[in-house]
Structure 1
Amino acid sequence: MRPPAPGPARAHGRTKASAPRLLPLLLAALLPLSACGIPATGVVEAGEPATGVLDPGPDPSPSQTWPEPAPATLVPLYFVVDGALTTAPRAVPGAGADLGSTVLMLFEGPDAGERRKGLTTELPPSTVAPTIRTDGAAVSVQLPEDVAGLSDLAVDQLACTVAVARMRQDPTLGSAQVTVEQPGGRLAGRSSEDCPADAARRNR
C-alpha cells in the first residue's frame, strides 16, 4: 500500500491556514478609512459651491438733492380802499395765472392780510369762471349768470384787473381795451388807460 501523495494535502493545508491570516489584514486596511469618515459608497456632495467675495457696489443711500421751487410771479388784483381802486399783488407759481384764473382770484375778494389793510371789494363772490376772449389788445369778458348788476366801481375792478393781466401776457401791447358783458346783455367798456396809472405801471 502506497502512502498518499504529499503535494495536494500540503497545498490544501496552506490554503486553509492562510485564510485566517488574511482576514485581520483586510480589517486593518478598512479600519483607517472608516475612522477618517470616508464613505465607502463614493463621493457624497453637500452644501453649495464656494463663491468669491462680491463687490459691495456703490452706496445705495438715496440722493439728497431737492428740486428747485418754481419762481413765483406777482399778479395784480384791483380792490377798493376808501372808495378808490388800488392793487394787491398776489404771488402765483410759474409764469403767472391765465386770465380766467386771475378773475376767479379777484372774485374771491381780499385775503385776511389785505382786509387788515382796509381793502374791500365791490364784486360779489363767484366760483364760476367767466368766458374770456382775446383779440390782440381787445378783451371780452362774459360774466356767468350768478354775477349781475355790478356797480361802476365793480366793473372798474374787473376791467382793470383783466387789462393789466392782458398786458403782462403780451408785453408788446401798449394798452388793453376790456368789454364786460353782464347777464341780460348789459355792456361796459374800459381801457387800461382808465385804470390808476401808478398801480398799472407798478405791477407790469
Structure 2
Amino acid sequence: MNPPTPTPTTTTGPDTRPSAGGSRLALRLLLTAVLLPLSACGIPPTGVVEAGEPATGVLEPGRAPTPSKAESEAVPVPTVPVYFVEDGALVAVPRPAPGGTDLGGTVLTLFEGPDGPEQRAGLTTELPRASVAPTIRTDGAAVVVQLPRSAGSLSDTAVDQLACTVAVARLRQDPALGSAQVTVEQPGGRLAGRSSDDCPPGGPREADGTGGDDGTGGTGGG
C-alpha cells in the first residue's frame, strides 16, 4: 500500500491589486499635483471669471464703422475779402479761398461780381467780367497789377475795387508788412496807385446788407 501523497503547499505573495480606497487616494494626490501649480500662477482651477471692460475695436459682421467726432468735424475754409460797391462806397464781402490767398485767384473772384443775393441787397461792381487773371508782380509791400487788354479802361471806383482787394489779400499773405501799395497798370500804359491804408476795413459783410464795419471808398483818380 502506497503512502498518501502530501498535498502541495502553495506559497502566495502579497496581494498587489489596488484596493478601492487606494485608488481614490491616488486620484486625489494626482489632482492635487495638477491643480497646485495652477493656483500658484493665479489661474482659477474651475469656472470662468469675468473682469475688465468688454473688448473694443471689433465690429459686428456687416456693420460699418462710426466716424469719430474729430473726423466728422468739417475743416473751416479760409476766406478773403473782395470789394464791391454799395451807394458809391466800397464794401468788403468775404469769399471762400480754398487755395489760400492766391492773388490771381482772388482777383478772378472779384471780377465775377456779386452773386444773386448780394445784388438783391444792393451790391454792384464797376469791374467787367474777365476769364483771364491779370499779371501780378509782388516785391515786398509793393504790388503791380497788369490788366489784360480785354479789361479795357477802368473807372476810378473799379480801380479802387481792384487795388483794395489785392492790397488786403497781400496783407493776408504777409501780415508783417503792415500796409501794401498797389499799382494798377491798365491797357495803354495808364497807371493808378492805391494804398491799403485808404481802403475800408475788410470785415465780414452779409448779403442782407447788415453786419461788418462801415467805411468809405478808396481815393479816386490816378
TM-score between the two structures when normalised by the length of structure 1: 0.64
Letter in 2 for 1:185: G
SS of 1:113's equivalent in the other structure is helix
1:88 aligns with 2:90: no
For residue 144 of structure 2, what is the aligned residue in structure 1? 140
SS at match of 1:149: coil
In the TM superposition, 1:6-155 aligns within 5 A as 59=59, 61-65=63-67, 66=71, 68-93=73-98, 96-155=100-159
Counterpart AA for 1:84: A
Query: Is 1:195 paired with 2:204?
Result: no
Output one character per residue of 1:79-117: Cα deviation in whole Å (capped at 9) or x when no partner: 1011111111123336x3411010000000001111111
1:181 matched residue in structure 2: 185
Q: Tell me if structure 1 keeps the 8 A contact 2:141–2:180.
A: yes
Q: 1:71 Cα deviation (Å)? A: 1.4
For residue 69 of structure 1, give the secondary structure of its aligned residue in structure 2.
Answer: coil
The amino acid across from 1:167 in the alignment is L
The alpha carbon displacement at 1:72 in A equals: 1.5
Partner of 1:22: none
Query: Which residue of structure 2 lines up, in the alignment, with residue 33 of structure 1?
Result: none
Q: SS of the counterpart of 2:110?
A: helix
Deviation of 1:143 after TM superposition, in Å, equals: 0.8
Once the two structures are superposed, residues 28-86 of structure 1 have per-residue CA deviations (whole angstroms, 9 ceiling, x without a partner) of xxxxxxxxxxxxxxxxxxxxxxxxxxxxxx64654342564331222111010111111
- Partner Cα distance (2:193, 2:102) in 1: 21
Structure of greater Rg: 1
Q: How far has the Cα of 1:195 moved from its partner?
A: 1.1
For residue 52 of structure 2, what is the aligned residue in structure 1? none
Code of the residue aligned with 2:65 in structure 1: it is: S
Greater helix share, 1 or 2? 1
Q: Figure out how many residues of one structure are paired with residues of the other and give that number.
A: 143
Q: Which has the higher contact order (CA 8 A, sep 6+)?
A: 2
Identity %: 68
Out of 165, 169, 192, which is 2:169 matched to?
165
Dislocated runs of 4+, deviation >4 Å:
58-62
TM-score (norm 2): 0.60
- Look up the SS of the partner of 2:151 in the other structure: coil
Structure 1: distance between partners of 2:153 and 2:102: 25
Does the aligned pair in 2 maintain the 1:145–1:183 contact within 8 Å? yes
Asked if the contact 1:141–1:178 (Cα under 8 Å) also holds between the matched residues in 2, the reply is yes
| Deviation per residue, 1:101-158 (Å, 9 max, x gap) | 1000000000111111100000000010111111110001111111011000000000
Where do 5+ consecutive residues of structure 2 fail to align? 1-57, 205-222
The residue type equivalent to 1:132 in the other structure is I
Unaligned runs of 5+ in 1: 1-57
Contact 2:101/2:172 (<8 A) preserved: no
